[in-house]
Chains A and B, each alone.
Chain A
Amino acid sequence: MQVHRAFEAGWGGAVWKTIGAPVLNVSNRYGAWHYGGQKMLAINNVELISDRPLEVNLREIAEVKRAWPDRAVIVSAMVESKPETWHDIIHQIQDSGADGIELNYGCPHGMSERGMGSAVGQVPEYCEQITRWVMEVAKIPVIVKLTPNISDIVMPARAAAAAGANALSLINTINSIIGVDLDSLEITPNIGGKGGHGGYAGPAVKPIALNMLAALGRDSVVSGSKLPISGMGGISTWRDAAEFLLLGASSLQVCTAVMHFGFRIIEDLCDGLSNWMDEKGFATVPDVVGRSLHRVSDFNDFDLSFRAVARIDQEKCIRCNLCYVACNDTAHQCIDLIAKDGRVVQPLSYEIQANGKEEAVSMRPSVRVREEDCVGCRLCYNVCPVEDCIRMIEQPSGQPSTTWGQLSKSQRLVTEDWEEMRKYREKMGIHIH
């Protein structure tokens, strides 16, 4: 029923979650992280795979496929690590009429303790072995879903490619404890007095997912395999979707945002993406895919001569002083408070008897960046609550472009010795405040 409703709402496909080994689920499966009045910045779950009987799932998959021949139904599978068990489930899925199979090597809780899920995804050799078993019998495309609970996401991706998988998807959920109940001192979510690690997902994980997606795109072996990548991990809006496409995902999966707001979110996901593509002159999704990937680099290759300073738009500034306190308490102390007469003043310098809105508003100093002291750290830009009020202005540094990588080759001592560094800075006119 839910998949029908999703398709009615306009979703192009569904990943049917996950069928395979027999399980029992518990209550209080979802914990969530709320912040600053925003609900569900992230969710964490200790839910296992589908606890409905295998044959029920397979029958329904067949029904959905009959009703929606133009939509993709991918079936996520996870069984015990034995070749015959995997062969069986692949056959069963193929018989249901599904369009593809996703191998769930990601589930970080419950299944991993039984040698499935992330227990597979964390060991590239297992990943490769099981994928090979699957590929022995697979007649429909097979996607390997990667776990982020690993030091280097590239390794299991290479293993999947080596085993002949048809596509990759990432990320699965991240190991997490969502919190502790401060009344009962129990773990959240509380499962009969106990709690534990679960899978973390939702808007908060997006930056981690983007990094891992880009890592695959930048790896010559993985990108050389030309495997399409299905991206997921915190996609809530068309903006998120566009970013995943730009970093190399050619299809996208969404879960937490739908759990929060329902299937209807697909409308703006498509509409917003389409409008953005029109605006940018992209005709098709493939025009977008991977378009920003070449810009992902390492610190070693960043231009050390690149300079930018913060500039505050006095017209837009609402005088909240958040940039001032951020800069002065935790950054480079280059924002001043300027009184009406142009003097630099200290905070909280009004008379104790002063009061009233006229006084408070008219006496309020403005904030100004001492650009010569600004290192361009961009903290003020990030804390400013007003759209486009603080901008980072690119400045000519007067220094030739160079990177740390070049420097460590051409002038190795500078990168190893402080005295050599001092001399280098002097020569280049680099002043550190």
Chain B
Amino acid sequence: MTNSPTATVRSEALGELLPPLSANQAAVESARCLMCYDAPCTHACPTHIDIPKFIKKISTGNLRGSARTILESNLIGATCARVCPVQELCEGACVLGAEHKPIAIGRLQRHAMDFAYGTGTEPFAGAKATGKRVAVIGAGPAGLSCAGELRKLGHGVTLFEKRELAGGLSTYGIIGLREPMEVALAEVAMIEKLGVKIETGKELGKDFPLGDLQTRFDAVFLSVGLGTTPGLGIPGEEHILDGLQYIEHSRVDASKLVVGRNVAVIGAGNTAIDCATIAKRLGALRVTMVYRRTENEMTAYPHEYEFIKREGVSFSFLTQPIRVDAQNGTVKSLQCVRMQLGSADASGRPAPLPIEGSEFFIPADQVVKAIGQEKPSLATRLRLETEKGFIQVNAAFETNLPGVYAGGDCIRARGAASTVMAAQDGKLAARAIHERLVARG
């Protein structure tokens, strides 16, 4: 690529989209909150943060108490304040939404979280040690949440993470527009400060077996997330970039990320939108999102779809890639076929069917795929029972192996995977583990 922007320009292009609220903005916005009783925003929040309570505390200038209120329900409140699809959750349920603007709950939460992280406020004192030890595998949102909650209850926790940095998708998989990496890492540091021992570069099944953990710890929590992007099974697949890695590169070192001039992004979920955003903001002239169904079936949140249209990204719906054309290792185009919708398939959505003889080319020098993630491969390796490929757990988040629990994206057989759902899994699993450990004495 010629005329590559400088690293600074690049990181600015992917800098946090929304500015923080000023103290005055936060005061005005928090005063608007009606303080509903048994509030629908709290009901809608998967972690059930007492939202009117933390907003009221902002309005009284009790930011420390506000941050604590948030963290009591959700230890990764700083990430959630930024990445939650608030339109679908708390803000979507706000009683003011029908006639006025809903309260900017996400941004107020960020205001309180920024205060806590900015001042180094210690949210929780350590509880009395129980002498019990729990291993948590995977330091993403579910793992951090579970580890932190267990520490709050007085258990010894070691958190194993295969990557170099903890934080999981918060660290590696969220576009900088929504959450800068420092926020995710500060959250990890806070969990560490609670007394959680974090060992990075340690992978279950490679560096140590599960049996080893089962003897050394009183319980194990698996929060291993999902795998890489599945293959499309088309010729030229080796030229297609993995969407999650595309995002990761944009975070770890945006200056080295090679962005094409004509970028085709395969998929129409939230990750695909993030990839398209990165490409567009880092200099691609034309970005086309390729999806085999229509906008009615796409899995991206409506507000994300609106956002990416405003970014100037084009869409090619009812389009299935069939091969990547490359010459001398350089991508020339993405060959596609037109689709039509048939009757509902296993996912409940209309099945896309190719239209014979409708092949066409989308000019592209870079192709990125973001079509979901592989099911957790660990499940089969550990001989865990699964549901649709996801780890199966009972109501207490316990797998078929006694004392081995799981949560987060790796168990999300139903419903949309999200950071906040993972946080709630971690919290509930920690409580279940605690009950078991306390009952056992």
Contact = CB atoms under 8 A, between A and B. Distances in A.
Q: Is chain A's interface secondary structure helix, strand, loop, or mixed overall?
A: loop
Given A37-B27, A352-B428, A363-B43, A357 B92 contact: yes
Interface string A36-76: 11100000000000000000000000000000000000000
A363 B44 CA distance: 10
B38 A347 contact: yes
A385 interface: yes
B93 A361 contact: yes
Given A355-B43, A356-B44, A359-B44, A318 B96 contact: yes
A360 interface: yes
A322 B89 contact: no
Interface in B75-132: 87-90, 92-93, 95-96, 98-99
A322 B32 contact: no
Given A37-B32, A347-B37, A347-B38, A360 B98 contact: no
Contact of B36 (A37, A322, A357): A322
Given A319-B95, A321-B38, A37 B59 contact: yes
A360 B43 contact: yes
Contacts of A360: 40-41, 43-44, 93
Given A37-B32, A320-B95, A350 B43 contact: yes
Contact of A320 (B37, B44, B89): B37
Interface string B15-51: 0000000000001101110111111110111101000
A432 interface: no
A320 B34 contact: yes
Nearest to A325: B37
B40 A319 contact: yes
A318 B95 contact: yes
B92 to A, nearest CB: 3
A318 B100 CA distance: 11
Contacts of A36: 31, 59
Contacts of A353: 424, 428
Contacts of A352: 48, 428
Contact of A385 (B34, B46, B87): B34
Interface in A362-378: 363-364
Nearest to B30: A37
Nearest to A326: B37
B27 A364 contact: no
A323 to B, nearest CB: 9
A105 interface: no
A283 interface: no
Given A319-B36, A357-B44, A361-B92, 4 more contacts: A37-B32, A355-B424, A357-B88, A360-B44
29 contacts: A36-B31, A37-B27, A319-B40, A320-B34, A320-B37, A321-B36, A321-B37, A321-B39, A322-B36, A324-B37, A324-B38, A347-B37, A348-B38, A350-B43, A355-B44, A355-B48, A356-B44, A356-B46, A356-B88, A357-B88, A357-B89, A360-B40, A360-B41, A360-B43, A360-B44, A361-B44, A361-B93, A364-B40, A364-B43
Interface of A: 36-38, 318-322, 324-325, 337, 347-348, 350, 352-357, 359-361, 363-364, 385
